[in-house]
A = this chain, B = another copy of it.
């Protein structure tokens, strides 16, 4: 029965009970954290073998090159081929770099601002007004980067099968709109995977800027929670077919597969885009850590080796996600005070609470020792216009802590809703 359908006695009874629950929750003196999408120690243990790889006397790639020395800014063939097979990208169109694809994303925007990219008439900085499209809710670190470079972050809603592509196509008619963020599979934080249809629209739409780019941050392509691996759609192939081969900058990495902070990142795109990138990357430095790339190639062995690792992650993560779902359903289902995503992959559950109460939920949780990602953080400028979205990241705490924290969060969501009703 929805909260709104309760009569005043029922509501009073629920309010009293919920306040009592909350006082009991506070009394526990919890110290729990559901803020960041970090892997747990148990997940990191899966890759412990990597700590001693590539191993003494193992320092050449498949071409016989000594990887201990300078050189090879594009990354070693061994890992580019393996990852290209995994993602369905021609290794010649896929660079391997150091850890964190976020670094590359930052640099792509930075260098387009400073110099213009290969399709620019002038540097992006030459335009006083710069806009960047952000599907919301989205990834806070993305928004930070475009904001850092002086872009106005303009939002479009995330729908069930990807962002609102009609709204995006409309925005792209504005020449000051230079690009957009996208997490196309098991998106952060909604878990949405873009449909092929929506991808085709993004690839084929007209853009006023010839140098418009879509930052295709495919961070969770193989981060399944079901042991099923969804098809990775060949976005570069589609882009080429539609006559916009340079539209997508595709990013990927081993983060949350091996070691979150010490992995290998990948950048896939048209060869023209890669050549532009390398022309500047070659002045920035003398190449990535190729030994770490070799270590990763040896550790995985093959594309199937990556999937095998991901099934083990799923075995650790899925019970936590299931617990979140079950607790939210058990505690809140009958009152209709929240809607939440049921992701089949990725790292997050996105919860929409009663409009106007997200900040209050965050405060209540904090007072009870449960740290949640700040309300609104999935929106540019931390500004959730409806003040209703909360991102849950259940990966890092152990199972029992996830359960304890979520039970507390449910109490907070319910209490905030009751408070809003003035009960």
Contacts and interface: CB of A to CB of B under 8 A. Distances in A.
Q: DSSP class of A's interface residues: helix, strand, loop or mixed?
A: loop
A49 interface: yes
Contacts of A98: 98-99, 289
Interface string A38-68: 1101001001110111111111000000111
A261 interface: yes
Nearest to A287: B261
Copies in the complex: 2
A309 B113 CA distance: 43
A261 B51 contact: no
A69 interface: yes
Tell me which of A115, A260, A261 has the highest count of chain B C-beta atoms within 10 A of its own C-beta: A261
Nearest to A58: B51
B284 A69 contact: no
A260 B53 CA distance: 18
B66 A55 contact: no
Contacts of A287: 261
Given A69-B39, A283-B145, A284-B103, A52 B49 contact: no
A114 interface: yes
A261 B261 CA distance: 18
Interface string A67-97: 1111110000000000000000000000000
Contacts of A229: none
Given A56-B49, A69-B38, A262 B283 contact: no
Given A48-B57, A57-B48, A283 B148 contact: yes
Contact of A280 (B48, B67, B148, B289): B148
B283 A70 contact: no
19 contacts: A48-B56, A48-B57, A51-B56, A52-B54, A68-B259, A70-B255, A70-B261, A98-B98, A100-B285, A114-B125, A144-B283, A261-B289, A261-B291, A262-B289, A262-B290, A262-B291, A262-B292, A289-B289, A289-B292
A284 B49 contact: no
A284 B98 CA distance: 13
